[in-house]
């Protein structure tokens, strides 16, 4: 039993590699968690890396330092060293994760006594300082699992699921899961994957990501340059996890349809591949947009879409990840062409919020686009269903209630209905 004062029982430390001004799906989740914790009067300290995402450029005030303490919206943030490397390739990512894990371990000794440490959403590297925090500072440990490793790495093609690295990572994570007091993940499918490692079901709960419905919502906007076009949009990271080859093959098959425009918006290491494909095949029906937009302009931009597309690769473990961009698509009230299998495909199908198609099948994408274009009433119905799905499963109220239960009423965790 931990001996803590009343004030200490309300203190939480969150370990997260990414923090504003860096913007990732995990940061959006973190900001919602901070909002919920602050509303419930918890005192939070965040251990986070120096700003570095995605290009590895670290602002001048952090350079040459190991730590940097600052305040963010009244929250104490202890910034820690990270290598100045771009998020590109397996080796760079590994070195980034490892350098943060080491510096965050040292930073745990700069934190006041807390009730809980929450190792947040950065694969298993931020779990290591979290475990050391638990053992050395005698706190309760919560692991936040937004990608199921090592399966999620297999999906990217970086490792094989019959190799030694897969087995080593799996053994480490199994140990991490068992030593944690609570494990949080995004969906019931992910929960089942964690339980399959031998973790007690009572120690795993679902905390879905959340849509800010006051901000992400359907809007009537002028299409501008996209006027008189049926816009099929992808918006998000241009990373190797996504199947831009199949998406562009579908665009090639619709090359003669001058009223259909594919909009690919975002930045990432697949940019050069996309540009080369567009140039080689002389695709005038694909528009690549790398502009960085503020959040208000971004939502207006997203609402220029007629349909969204989520082009996932065919992979052995489709439920090992959950692309947070899907929530933006649903929140804007647009049908989603969902190119994947597993949980996401079933979700879109169950709520009739779009059309699930087989991954890596450009012909099915082509047919889905033409079908939605030619059926505006069905498209309108699916758009409404998409927004209702977003509000039912991914609302802030659901998220806030589960946060409250996780930190204040562990005995009641299993009473919450999970998605």
Q: How far apart are CA 116 and CA 8, in angstroms?
A: 10
Task: Please give the structure tokens belonging to residue 202.
Answer: 């009572």
Q: How far apart are CA 337 and CA 408, in angstroms?
A: 39
Q: Stretch 361-365: mean pLDDT, rounded?
A: 98
- Residue 230's alpha-carbon distances to 9, 218, 260, 375, in angstroms, are 54, 17, 5, 12
Taking only the tens place, the pLDDT of each residue in 368-391 is 999 999 999 999 999 999 999 999
Q: How far apart are CA 209 and CA 396, in angstroms?
A: 9
**For 274, how many CA atoms within 13 A lie in the half-sphere containing its CB?**
27
Burial 136-162 (b: 16+ CB within 10 A, else e): ebebbbbbbbbbbbbbbbbbbebbeee
What average pLDDT does the structure give for the chain? Answer: 90
If you count them, how many residues does the chain have?
419
Taking only the tens place, the pLDDT of each residue in 317-326 is 999 999 989 9
**For 100, how many CA atoms within 13 A lie in the half-sphere containing its CB?**
31
Taking only the tens place, the pLDDT of each residue in 197-232 is 999 999 999 999 988 877 888 998 988 889 899 999
6-210+395-415 maps to which CATH number? 3.40.50.2000
C-beta of residue 99 within 8 angstroms of C-beta of residue 122:
no
**224-393 belongs to which homologous superfamily?**
Glycogen Phosphorylase B; (3.40.50.2000)
Q: How far apart are CA 267 and CA 237, in angstroms?
A: 6
DSSP 285-315: TEEEE-----HHHHHHHHTT-SEEEEEBPP-
What is the value of pTM for the model shown?
Answer: 0.84
Whether residue 414 is predicted with pLDDT greater than 70 in this model: the reply is no
Whether the domain at 6-210+395-415 and the domain at 224-393 fall into the same CATH topology: yes
In the prediction, which pLDDT does 3 show? Answer: 42
Q: Angle of helix 362-374 relative to helix 244-253, nearest 10 degrees?
A: 60
In the prediction, which pLDDT does 336 show? Answer: 98
Residue ranges of the domains in the chain? 6-210+395-415, 224-393
C-beta of residue 145 within 8 angstroms of C-beta of residue 120:
no
Scan for tokens 């930073």, then name that residue: 107
Q: How far apart are CA 353 and CA 375, in angstroms?
A: 14
Rounded to the nearest 5 degrees, what angle is found at the Cα of 337, between the Cα atoms of 190 and 312?
50
């Amino acid at each position: 039993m931990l001996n803590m004062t009343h004030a200490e029982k309300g203190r939480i430390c969150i370990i997260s590699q990414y923090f504003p001004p860096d913007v990732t799906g995990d940061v959006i989740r973190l900001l919602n968690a901070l909002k919920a914790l602050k509303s419930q009067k918890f005192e939070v300290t965040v251990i986070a890396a120096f700003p570095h995402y995605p290009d590895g450029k670290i602002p001048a005030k952090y350079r040459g330092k190991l730590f940097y303490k600052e305040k963010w919206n009244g929250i104490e943030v202890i910034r820690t060293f990270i290598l100045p490397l771009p998020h590109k390739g397996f080796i760079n990512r590994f070195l980034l994760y490892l350098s943060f894990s080491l510096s965050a371990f040292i930073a745990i000794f700069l934190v006041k006594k807390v009730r809980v440490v929450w190792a947040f959403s950065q694969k298993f590297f931020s779990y290591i300082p979290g475990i050391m925090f638990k053992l050395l500072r005698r706190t309760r440990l919560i692991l936040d699992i937004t990608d199921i490793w090592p399966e999620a790495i297999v999906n990217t093609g970086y490792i094989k699921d019959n190799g030694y690295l897969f087995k080593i990572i799996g053994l480490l994570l199994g140990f991490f899961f068992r030593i944690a007091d609570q494990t949080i993940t995004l969906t019931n499918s992910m929960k089942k994957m964690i339980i399959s490692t031998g973790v007690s079901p009572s120690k795993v709960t679902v905390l879905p990501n959340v849509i800010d419905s006051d901000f992400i919502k359907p809007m009537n906007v002028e299409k501008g340059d996209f006027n008189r076009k049926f816009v099929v949009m992808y918006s998000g990271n241009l990373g190797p996890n996504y199947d831009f080859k199949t998406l562009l093959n579908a665009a090639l098959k619709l090359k003669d349809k001058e009223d259909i425009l594919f909009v690919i918006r975002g930045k990432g290491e697949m940019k050069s591949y996309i540009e080369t494909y567009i140039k080689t095949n002389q695709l005038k029906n694909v528009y690549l947009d790398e502009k960085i937009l503020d959040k208000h302009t971004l939502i207006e931009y997203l609402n220029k879409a007629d349909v969204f597309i989520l082009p996932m690769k065919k992979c052995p473990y489709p439920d090992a990840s959950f692309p947070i961009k899907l929530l933006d698509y649903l929140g804007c009230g647009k049908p989603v062409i969902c190119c994947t299998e597993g949980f996401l495909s079933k979700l879109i199908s169950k709520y009739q919020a779009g059309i699930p198609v087989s991954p890596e099948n450009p012909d099915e994408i082509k047919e889905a686009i033409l079908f939605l274009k030619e059926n505006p009433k069905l498209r309108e119905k699916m758009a409404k269903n998409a927004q209702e799905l977003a509000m039912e499963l991914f609302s802030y109220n659901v998220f806030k209630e589960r946060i409250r239960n996780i930190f204040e009423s562990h005995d009641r965790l299993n009473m919450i209905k999970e998605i």
